[in-house]
Chain A
């Protein structure tokens, strides 16, 4: 049957012919190994220029992970390679200890790109309904997602006429309607003011409490510090540090340093 969504369990090996079942995030919590996603040595080149070099890290379930780095660090490329929508020279990814080839990444994760305004001639309601129908969401679930991101005032507006902030809210609502245990988001706070960022952080936190894991690519260090549990510091396509803020402080020896100080020390 076409289009089967199968959430991946730690017990079932990933084979083309075998349907993957089940309770990903909760299973992972029960498991001794808390690693949801293991990324081992991603390499990506454009012509002769290496954009990602030997990028390796782990993602644990039920956390908000921030991929932190300046513009051009390779954050978007990393997310797209992870999501399987950009080919890479090497991209060894394991989901709960089982290899996850690029063609099957969409079964485990959903990626919300930056700067995308999907279906611009359609009203926001119709775009939401499309996602809700594909993923068989109930009217209550759709209403809940709309309410959570504050999209109500613009539901009947066409996507091309939405402001940057509402465009972001629409994308976030689409992300909330997807069922995947891992949600990748590129610059989710771009276009929001401080108050709105706090609102959205609340929405993301609530999502994590429901068992989802979020990976956010953020270039604003203060925003990242506010929302993320763990950080992957990326510069020039290399991972410069991975861990919680305290881990990174310990590694750099900057006891009271903020993320900005640590990032500057490591890059």
Chain B
């Protein structure tokens, strides 16, 4: 029994806090319901992806040229994990909100904040729990990858890990927003509305304003769904990782600020403003980080290795002036095939749109519309091509360097596969839901050590 004369604790252990958080999330229905809903969602996406990939592979098996265009990243991984993205967007907020919202609603938070933990420690523990919940909710997606391997499908480790890392960051971002929402809201329902305003709002933003020029394009770039795009393209971007990490830390910091009930609202507002300012500055700096790694096996985001080496040595600034409207499909091609690759390799590159961010009809009267001007040092040339096969020789000519000799071999072979996708449906519609239901039932039982403790007390 407690005795003030003798009691002295130097530090509160973290383990009981983490154990409590994990049990809390395992005891609720939200996580298990989400898992059960994800089984058919991911299962059907996987089945469709494998079927379509199989159809394309039938032709690819006859022709090496066709086969080289078959990448499991695009054909199977992205669509399968796309279903996971939908679930994380729509369902995961409810799981993450429960981590804090339940304690707020039942009053347990008033006990928790009196315990010898700093608010930041409490929120960190909850964020770790959200991470654990994301890992658990990704079991259907992981099982889809395992089945793909069982079918004999190819998985490139860097591509797969990069994509999973992107989804992890997205899950953490949604979780951090949910924690912030739960922290500022009095009820879980309000927190859900706030979080869904972020996640579904981003989705709607993507549908409605993406592809539009000017301010709308900038607004669309703020969408949470943009987080995944780069990873789906097989790029590991340092700027994006730092940006998302900052956003996660920012929302977690805001949740920490709003957690203690004994602090005046005006103090919380002042601290929040300071926190948002710091996060905005770091986000601004993150946009300046251009380092990115092409993790794709077919090196779709890079020029051939020998070209990369030559281009990396071009010391003078290259200015690319594009006479195209941003929504013109040719601009998208040029951006994907040439400009994005140049940005990753050239140390001094500036790209400007001649018509600014003006739309297609405004640019229509321009005689030079469609031209792309490349200026290297004092020399310049013009091209209308969007293919690196024409642009690279033009650049070498401007820089007066010798083009590298084409290296034999090293071409991406492609991985065609015709697999019986319907067998996977059995797993996703019967086997996996049964296993999840079994685990749910097991989690409801009192663990052995608690039964032992109860027996000890009773005896």
What residues make up the interface of A, taking CB atoms closer than 8 Å to B?
1-5, 7, 21-26, 80, 83-87, 102-103, 106-107, 110-113, 115-123, 125-126, 129-130, 133-136, 139, 141-148, 152, 155-156, 174, 176-181, 207, 210-212
Kindly identify which residue among A23, A87, A115, A177 contacts B2, using a CB–CB cutoff of 8 Å.
A177
Which residues in A have their C-beta under 8 angstroms from that of B107?
A: 113, 115-118
The answer for the CA separation of A148 and B453 in the assembled complex, in Å, is 16
B15 within 8 A of A: yes
Kindly identify which residue among B16, B113, B264 contacts A85, using a CB–CB cutoff of 8 Å.
B113
Kindly identify which residue among A23, A134, A146 contacts B12, using a CB–CB cutoff of 8 Å.
A134
Which residues in B have their C-beta under 8 angstroms from that of A25?
A: 4-5
Whether B454 contacts A106 by the Cβ 8 Å rule is no
Whether B115 contacts A3 by the Cβ 8 Å rule is yes
CB-based nearest A residue for B7: A179
Kindly identify which residue among A102, A120, A133, A174 contacts B111, using a CB–CB cutoff of 8 Å.
A174
Whether A125 contacts B121 by the Cβ 8 Å rule is no
Residues of B within 8 A of A (CB-CB), count = 48
Whether B450 contacts A139 by the Cβ 8 Å rule is no
CB-based nearest A residue for B113: A85
Whether A207 contacts B261 by the Cβ 8 Å rule is no
Which residues in A have their C-beta under 8 angstroms from that of B17?
A: 134
Which residues in A have their C-beta under 8 angstroms from that of B261?
A: 85-86
| Residue among B11, B19, B110 with max Cβ neighbours from chain A (10 Å) | B110
Which residues in A have their C-beta under 8 angstroms from that of B108?
A: 116-119
Kindly identify which residue among A133, A145, A181 contacts B1, using a CB–CB cutoff of 8 Å.
A145
Whether A3 contacts B3 by the Cβ 8 Å rule is no
Which residues in B have their C-beta under 8 angstroms from that of A207?
A: 1-2
B8 within 8 A of A: yes
The answer for the CA separation of A117 and B116 in the assembled complex, in Å, is 20
B446 within 8 A of A: yes
Whether A156 contacts B3 by the Cβ 8 Å rule is no
Whether A111 contacts B110 by the Cβ 8 Å rule is yes
Which residues in B have their C-beta under 8 angstroms from that of A107?
A: 116
B416 nearest CB across to chain A (Å): 49
CB-based nearest A residue for B16: A133
B225 within 8 A of A: no
Whether B5 contacts A26 by the Cβ 8 Å rule is yes
Whether A116 contacts B106 by the Cβ 8 Å rule is yes
Whether A3 contacts B457 by the Cβ 8 Å rule is no
Whether A126 contacts B450 by the Cβ 8 Å rule is yes
Kindly identify which residue among B5, B115, B263, B454 contacts A211, using a CB–CB cutoff of 8 Å.
B5
B62 within 8 A of A: no
Kindly identify which residue among B9, B12, B106, B117 contacts A118, using a CB–CB cutoff of 8 Å.
B106
B218 within 8 A of A: no
Whether B115 contacts A212 by the Cβ 8 Å rule is no
A182 nearest CB across to chain B (Å): 9
Show 19 A/B contacts (Cβ-Cβ < 8 Å), sorted by A: A2-B117, A2-B121, A4-B9, A26-B5, A83-B262, A85-B260, A86-B261, A113-B107, A116-B106, A116-B107, A118-B107, A118-B108, A123-B450, A126-B20, A130-B20, A133-B19, A143-B456, A176-B1, A210-B1
